[in-house]
Structure 1
Amino acid sequence: MIIGCVKEIKKYEFRVGLTPNAASEYVRSGHQVLIENGAGLGSGFTDEQYEALGCEMVSDAKSVWSRSDMIVKVKEPLESEYALFKENLILYTYLHLASNEPLYQALKQKKVLSVAYETMEYQKTLPCLEPMSMVAGRLSVVEGAKYSEAFFGGTGVLMSGLPGTPRAKVTIIGAGIVGQSACRMAVGMEANVTVLDIDTKRLGYLEDLYHNKVHTLYSNQENLKKSIVEADVVIGAVLIPGDAAPKLIKDEYLELMKPGAIIVDVAIDQGGISNFSKVTYHDNPIYKVGHVLFYGVANMPGSVPKTSSIALNNATLRYGLEIANKGIDQALLNPVIHSGLQTRDGIGVYPTLIKLFENK
């Protein structure tokens, strides 16, 4: 099989779909690997590193797309890349189609076989999403702390406080991988941390782990409202695999929040946790709604690309190799890979997407 990896063109996205070590595994398995020139530079990997491991460097993305049987990426293709799709191409990447119907329709129209990292499921876990969820969760608290500074319009409260002063109040909505990672960072920064979820086992796990350093609450409307209104930093860490994020931060809550409080919306890839959520970029990550700040960067792990690219490849390589080695039909017999299947032969096959876009 011919495996292609193109340079990510999303704004301020520095990760790469294949690290040199991962690419070399495909080469060792007998596959031809095409790498667009400069694809790995943002993550600190040179063209020479790829060449030394047996990859073919290609000068332009169009050639990589046209020659490849499978494209391995990080982020979803942008509109300018839709014209490069072709029938029976295997696209293996993050897609987040629940918030991107134009891409969903383009994949169907061009009869692309698409496999999305974020819905691949193994024993009730999402192995290809987890590493980026861990990065985003940890970064969410770092970014929340940064933009809490008065210079940016934040509340001006130091996360840890000082003796005789209050600590910042951090509310984390969701106790999955993102929420647990955010909790770890917030506790490490000595903030006053509250975590909400509807899964009491997850909440119990955090209480056992952090004891009295974390306050846990069942996620109902009254608890959400109280915790959000009192917070200096709110982390939106909810995830419904393959579906749009629920709008848990009601419009009326914003008026009651502290002036300068910030909502870091890690759920933005799936549409966000508020009606006011919108995608932002690293060069201008925050915006104001009334007196509340929103942070909506959709590719947070792209700001630490070396760590993120290596972690992502550690998770995705085994399944990508299985597709390449066995062929897609045999590979789809693996329920983990099959759970990532989004489109094939011009139709949508992922149940949530059918519900969202086909049954209107």
Structure 2
Amino acid sequence: MIIGVPKEIKNNENRVAATPSGVAELTKRGHTVYVQSTAGVGSGFSDEDYVTAGASILPTIEETYAIAEMIMKVKEPIEPEYKLIKEDQLLFTYFHFASYEPLTKAMIENKSVCLAYETVEKADRSLPLLVPMSEVAGRMATQKGANYLEKPLGGMGKLLGGVPGVLPANVLVLGGGIVGTQAAKMAAGLGANVTIMDISLNRLRELDDIMPANVNTMMSNGYNIKAMIKDSDLIIGAVLIPGAKAPHLITRDMLKDMKPGTVLVDVAVDQGGCIETCKPTTHAEPTFVIDDVLHYCVANMPGAVPYTSTLALTNATLPYAIDLANKGWEKACKESKELAMGLNVIKGDVVYEAVAEAFDLPYVPVEKYLD
């Protein structure tokens, strides 16, 4: 198979979809890999590294899309890329369709095959290609939140862990999945007073067993969230419904109950956000303020630590990429239910039900293409 790895062009996105070691694994199996020039520089990989691994370098993004049967990316295509995508071309990347209708409609119109990292799902409901970036984003959420609590950056001026004789900050984490768990661990490690909320009592029991003493667990419901936000200094939104838009757990009118200088970090922003006032921001302009509450809503948080993120992501995606390249997407997805779950749009049809529901689009069962 001919595989193309274009340079990411989203604002401050420095990750790359394949490392030189990943390229070597593909080329030794007889596949041809084209990497756009400087695609890996932001993650610490030179063009020479890729050539040594067996790739060919192309100077432009247009040439990379034009030659490839499968495109491997990190972030969803943005508008300048829409016209470059060919009919029947396989795109293997994060899409988060349910949060952005123009992207969904563009992929329907170009009749490509869109296999989304975030909906590849194992039998136990785990999301193997979302986990590594969720781990990074969860840890970064606390790191960024602690930073923005500083007064010069718009926060209330609290040190997350306090000092002897001064109480630590209160951190509220909404969601006990991968993101929430990592965020809570980081906050606890810095000495904060942490509360993590989830709708699953079994998950809260698990967290109660593994978390340190300065982490409390609490059932997530509207009443409890309204009560907790009043005394929280940092609130981290970590809610995920695979492939679907995140529910709004914090609404616009709830901001008035928060202290001035409270910091909100919404990690669910790429799925529409679990905070109603959330809107996607960039690393160049990461924050905004509403009602004296600071919002940090960067949609590609792991892009700020590209070396770590690229290695973590490709550790997870490479086995699936090899399977797709070896067999083609149809055979690979027929033989792998978890890969089939990643299919969202195929040749103009929406085959992932949550995406169809998000925009009231016709839904076509994926079996149409895999029988």
Q: Same fold (TM over 0.5)?
A: yes
Determine the structure 2 residue equivalent to 1:108. 108
Q: 2:346 aligns with which of 319, 344, 347?
A: 344
Q: What are the within-5 Å matches in structure 2 for residues 128-207 of structure 1? A: 128-207=129-208
Determine the structure 1 residue equivalent to 2:79. 79
Q: Tell me, in whole angstroms, the C-alpha distance in 1 between the residues paired with 2:358 and 2:300.
A: 23
Partner SS, residue 212 of structure 1: coil
Determine the structure 2 residue equivalent to 1:52. 52
Determine the structure 1 residue equivalent to 2:30. 30
Q: CA RMSD in A?
A: 1.0
Equivalent pairs counted in the alignment come to 360
Matched, 1:258 2:255: no
Q: Cα deviations across residues 294-318 of structure 1 (Å, max 9, x unaligned)?
A: 0010000000000000000000111
Q: Tell me, in whole angstroms, the C-alpha distance in 1 between the residues paired with 2:304 and 2:358.
A: 31
The amino acid that maps onto 2:293 is V
Determine the structure 2 residue equivalent to 1:287. 288
251-260 or 202-211, which moves further after superposition? Answer: 202-211
Q: Tell me, in whole angstroms, the C-alpha distance in 1 between the residues paired with 2:304 and 2:361.
A: 38
Determine the structure 2 residue equivalent to 1:92. 92
Partner SS, residue 277 of structure 1: coil
Determine the structure 2 residue equivalent to 1:267. 268
CA displacement at 1:290 relative to structure 2:
0.9
Partner SS, residue 270 of structure 2: helix
Q: Cα deviations across residues 6-57 of structure 1 (Å, max 9, x unaligned)?
A: 0000000000011111111110110000000000000000000000111000
The amino acid that maps onto 2:346 is R
Determine the structure 1 residue equivalent to 2:312. 311
CA displacement at 1:359 relative to structure 2:
4.5
The amino acid that maps onto 1:269 is D
348-357 or 14-23, which moves further after superposition? Answer: 348-357
The amino acid that maps onto 1:109 is E
Aligned-residue identity in percent: 46
Determine the structure 2 residue equivalent to 1:4. 4
Q: 1:355 aligns with which of 333, 354, 357?
A: 357
Q: Tell me, in whole angstroms, the C-alpha distance in 2 between the residues paired with 1:132 and 1:27.
A: 26
The amino acid that maps onto 1:253 is M
Determine the structure 2 residue equivalent to 1:67. 67
Q: Tell me, in whole angstroms, the C-alpha distance in 2 between the residues paired with 1:277 and 1:339.
A: 28
The amino acid that maps onto 1:21 is S
The amino acid that maps onto 1:343 is V
Partner SS, residue 308 of structure 1: helix
CA displacement at 1:177 relative to structure 2:
0.2
Q: Tell me, in whole angstroms, the C-alpha distance in 2 between the residues paired with 1:341 and 1:165.
A: 51
CA displacement at 1:93 relative to structure 2:
0.1
- Consecutive unaligned residues of structure 1, counting only runs of 5 or more, are none
Q: Tell me, in whole angstroms, the C-alpha distance in 2 between the residues paired with 1:342 and 1:220.
A: 31
The 1:37–1:167 alpha-carbon spacing in structure 2 relative to 1, beyond 3 Å, is: same
Q: Tell me, in whole angstroms, the C-alpha distance in 1 between the residues paired with 2:83 and 2:345.
A: 17
CA contact (8 A) 1:187 1:193 kept: yes
CA contact (8 A) 2:281 2:298 kept: yes
Matched, 1:40 2:67: no
Stretches of 4+ moved more than 3 A in 1?
none
CA displacement at 1:358 relative to structure 2:
3.5
Q: Cα deviations across residues 164-194 of structure 1 (Å, max 9, x unaligned)?
A: 1110000000000000000110010010000
The amino acid that maps onto 2:131 is E
CA contact (8 A) 2:141 2:267 kept: yes
CA contact (8 A) 1:249 1:273 kept: yes
Give the alignment's TM-score, normalised by structure 2: 0.96
The amino acid that maps onto 2:66 is S
Determine the structure 1 residue equivalent to 2:303. 302
The amino acid that maps onto 1:345 is K
CA contact (8 A) 2:245 2:358 kept: no
CA contact (8 A) 1:229 1:253 kept: no
CA contact (8 A) 2:11 2:284 kept: no
CA displacement at 1:132 relative to structure 2:
0.2
Give the alignment's TM-score, normalised by structure 1: 0.98
308-317 or 157-166, which moves further after superposition? Answer: 157-166
